Amino acid sequence: MADTPLLKLGTRRSPLAMAQAEEARARLCAAHGWPEEAIELVPVVASGDKVQDRPLADIGGKALWTRELDGWLHEGRIDAAVHSLKDVETVRPDFLAIAAVLPRADKRDVLIGAASLAALPQGAVIGTSAPRRAAQALHARPDCRVITFRGNVATRLAKLAAGEADATFLAAAGLHRLGENGTGHPLDTAHWLPAPAQGAIAVECHSDDARVRALLAAIDHGPSRAEAMAERALLAALGGSCHSAIAVLCDLADEALTMRAALFSPDGAERVEGAVTFPVHDAEGPARLAADLLARATPGIARHFGGQP
């Protein structure tokens, strides 16, 4: 094996991001019969990791997770970048392509600090920086209070342990990838829907880099791509922003996608939900559900949608 790696994979430096990059590397090496040293992991500190005291939506949104890696791809410093797909903006630069979506992990959210939302004490403080989680929590428990919780998994668990809040939410997939399988209580998707593309890892590269696209295609998981891209298409059709409370779950079975979604007002008081089933290759299915939801949305919900995603 030559000293020069065959691929340079960019990643954020957080423990979860590194674990996801390790998974992407392991899958690529297994698919191509390479030793581990064939792929170099190149970590970067993302803007979103540098500012922890304000909600992400107030300081630039999801672009703060991708900006540095996008620049490195553009400059040719890396061949591809590994992302949590739920953290990737709906509209991406033309020079980039999502070349692989890894097999999707557990899509659920996990409640930390109580066995259920109903078990929280009256007036409990819930820590989260996600509009979706805040709105869903307040819809179920309007007596509770939400405060901003930013930081990686360990930071948020430490804040909870320090008593800054009574409960918080984390993605089951992230906990699993960090070896924290027994932490918290997974929330039933019959009553609590996740974020678009939650649990999916994406690998992006230059759209015109045929060599890298072909290498990454070997680890692309078709069912996971179909689900995650449909959820992202719903997000785009809704015209939501980082401030919009959108929850969606898509499941693939027998070449059909069943999508359930709910939109909320930021305070959780107003909610509209809907569902649709459509063939996996029907690109307009998510847009039909978006149109239905927006047509039935209350003014308190609708004012947060319909703009540029």
* Residues 133-138: contacts with CB under 8 Å, at least 24 apart: 133/109, 133/169, 134/245, 134/266, 134/268, 135/245, 135/264, 135/265, 135/266, 135/267, 135/268, 136/192, 136/193, 136/245, 136/247, 136/262, 136/264, 136/268, 137/169, 137/268, 138/267, 138/268, 138/269
Judge whether 109 counts as a catalytic residue. no
What one-letter code names the amino acid at 97?
A
Look at residues 257, 56, 84, 233 and name the one whose alpha carbon lies nearest to residue 149: 56
Per-residue exposure over 287-306, b if at least 16 CB sit within 10 Å of its own CB, e if not: bbbbeebbeebeeebbebbe
Within the chain, strands assigned E span 7-12, 39-44, 80-84, 96-101, 109-112, 125-127, 145-147, 167-171, 185-186, 201-206, 245-253, 256-264, 271-279
Q: What is the DSSP letter of 111?
A: E
Catalytic residue among 49, 70, 79, 87: 87
Residues with a catalytic annotation lie at 87
